[in-house]
């Protein structure tokens, strides 16, 4: 019976992934946000970058909603058996904000690292909710490794190269998601 339930749940998660095209408008919104931060970083002004990062992060979700509407991928209306895990996942992710604010007050150079990793903490659970844990977890792990490397060993790139690398990782993830959606669609037709 547990195997049947597990198989049904996985089938539902995969169906959710197909219906929403892997939720690609959400990471696409993230890519646009980080691209904006790379552009702002050109000024090499930590205070300006941090202000844009903090207030701009509030635009990610509305931008994702607009892109979802544009691409007919209404993630707010699509309910599944695992949808209940998403609110606690986002709450857990948002718990990084006290670290960000603390760094803002005492060590502003840390804000780019904290934001880049903190805003990726929900990715593995989102991937699990779609039955595609590997793609989404790979995004979070690669992102954490790359931004840590840049932050630690290329400090002059903290405001430009770091957000640009996150943008590229987002775009690669969007491509991987869309390829998986296409692959699943072709498999379903057989």
Encoding tokens for residue 54? Answer: 């903090």
pLDDT digits (tens, 9 = 90+) for 109-149: 999 999 999 999 999 999 999 999 999 999 999 999 999 99
Query: Which residues are CB-neighbours of 96 under 8 A, at least 6 positions away?
Result: 114, 117, 118, 119, 121
Q: Interhelix angle for 97-106 vs 111-118, to 10°?
A: 170
Provide the domain limits for residue 45. Answer: 2-189
pTM: 0.93
Give residue 84's pLDDT.
83
- Find the helix or strand (DSSP H, E) in which 43 lies: none
Give residue 83's pLDDT.
81
How many structural domains does the chain have? 1
For the residues of 65-104, what is the DSSP string, one character each? HHHHHHTT--TTT---TTGGGHHHHHHHHHTTHHHHHHHH
Average pLDDT, the chain: 93
CA 26/CA 152 separation, integer angstroms: 28
Residue 85's Cα: distance from chain center in Å?
A: 16
Give residue 118's pLDDT.
96
Give residue 49's pLDDT.
97
Give residue 161's pLDDT.
98
Closest CA to 40 of 48, 32, 28: 48
Residue 86's Cα: distance from chain center in Å?
A: 13
Give residue 23's pLDDT.
94
**Residue ranges in the chain modelled with pLDDT below 70:** 1-2, 188-190
């Amino acid at each position: 019976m547990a195997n049947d339930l597990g198989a049904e749940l996985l089938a539902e998660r995969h169906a959710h992934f197909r219906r929403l095209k892997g939720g690609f408008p959400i990471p696409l919104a993230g890519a646009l946000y980080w691209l904006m931060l790379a552009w702002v970083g050109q000024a090499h002004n930590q205070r300006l970058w941090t202000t844009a990062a903090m207030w701009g992060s509030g635009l990610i979700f509305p931008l994702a909603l607009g892109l979802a509407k544009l691409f007919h991928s209404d993630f707010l209306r699509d309910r599944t058996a695992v949808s209940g895990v998403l609110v606690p996942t986002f709450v857990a992710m948002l718990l990084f904000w006290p670290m960000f604010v603390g760094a803002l007050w005492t060590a502003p150079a840390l804000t780019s690292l904290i934001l880049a990793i903190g805003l990726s903490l929900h990715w593995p659970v989102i991937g699990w909710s779609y039955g595609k844990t590997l793609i989404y977890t790979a995004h979070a792990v690669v992102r954490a490794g790359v931004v840590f490397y840049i932050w630690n060993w290329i400090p002059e790139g903290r405001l430009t190269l770091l957000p640009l690398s996150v943008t590229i990782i987002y775009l690669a993830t969007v491509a991987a998601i869309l390829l998986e959606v296409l692959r699943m669609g072709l498999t379903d037709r057989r």
